[in-house]
Amino acid sequence: MRDKPVQALLLATLERLLDIPTADLPTALTLACDAVAEATRSDKVDAFLLDPKNSSLVAIGGSNQPLSSLQRSLGLDVLPIANGGRAVEVFETRQPYRSGRVSEDLEELKGIREALKIESQVAVVVEVGGQVRGVLAISSLERDFYSAEDERFLASISRWIGSVAHRAELVEEIARNAVEQGRRAVAEELVTVLAHDLRNFITPISARIQLVRDRAEREKRGADVRDTESALKGMRRLGRLTLDLLDVARLDQGVFHLDLQPIDLAVVAAEVASTLSTPTHEVRAIASEEVVVSADPSRISQCLENLVTNALRHSPKGSPVMVIVGKRQAEGCDLGTVDVMDEGPGVPQAMVPRLFQRFSKGEGSGGLGLGLYLARRIAVAHGGDLQVESQAGKGAHFRLELPMQCDD
């Protein structure tokens, strides 16, 4: 069937496969199928890969030949697993298939036997990234066209085609990540600029609202006092959001400043609890002793405020949020701990791995998803850590740990 010895033909085909330029997956597999078609003098070559969503083998790549075009026009480039056929059998059993009388093989799909009029066929599995992902098949309109030598040749070539596919998928993934990172960088820069501009407006607007509130209070206009207090509360929330956005930029730029000094975690926790408690959501701070750490008081307050605000957001009305201050011993280090616990629905397990990533938030959550990200980064900046434990329906438990005194 061939003019060249099998080893020489295999080497020549491998050289063509290695020369395939880095491209998208369909293009790479099509070029590979063309190389195999020329080497085996086949009328059609297909590189099928599994589409898990549709449970089908799809000819992602196929040789540029008339029979391949006919196959696509008939829809035979997509082979549902449920329909069976020899390609599906090879994929499921991992065993190669070779026949020189396909027209007489009733286990083969009718469309392949009668519409395409395939007579000879060899099919082997394709592994991509160490997993069986599809089938490589060569076909001829002539009877008894392929030999056992052709089957061995195709089995060898399929490994290299799997490598071509793997390389193409990695390139596609890198390209997607690069685009996503580029979009994220532009979006983050835009958000940072917006935060700087917002900060310039917040202070004068808040000051004007405060003047209106004071005047309303002097004139005993109770409704106006309540309305302006609500407006001031909204401006304070906007100010905190702006501060969070600017802190994200400072962390990225390496200019996140800490003013370290001795602070009592019990005092900070009590202040945060007093500030954030509401008639419908009580925040209880509990500390049995003084717990002094070297830290930036404003940053630790910011960290605890973000944790408590998150807990309040997910707590049912009437249920308290607990803030418990304590100590624990670690290897060569005493740690101050602050546990923030709520009685909400808990953190879905699927979300736990990305919980502390920026802009990560659960369904129904408000805000931008920066609070927990900043809380963790503040903890790490102090040489500490922030972790979460959660069970469905049993609330969330966040633990902040900060070093008190560590051995050198």
pLDDT one-digit tens code per residue, 158-192 = 888 888 888 877 777 777 777 667 666 655 566 65
pLDDT tens-digit profile of 62-73? 899 999 999 999
* pTM confidence score: 0.48
pLDDT computed for residue 392 by the predictor: 72
Is the CB of residue 338 less than 8 Å from the CB of residue 303? no
Helix (H) or strand (E) holding 284: strand 283-287
* Confidence band for 48, pLDDT divided at 50, 70 and 90: very high
* Confidence band for 201, pLDDT divided at 50, 70 and 90: confident
DSSP, residue by residue, 152-174: HHHHHHHHHHHHHHHHHHHHHHH
- The C-alpha atoms of residue 193 and residue 106 are separated, in whole angstroms, by 68
pLDDT computed for residue 1 by the predictor: 47
CA of 46: how far to CAs of 23, 50, 385, in Å? 18, 13, 53
Burial class (CB in 10 A: 0-12, 13-18, 19+), 26: middle
pLDDT computed for residue 189 by the predictor: 62
Is the CB of residue 166 less than 8 Å from the CB of residue 152? no
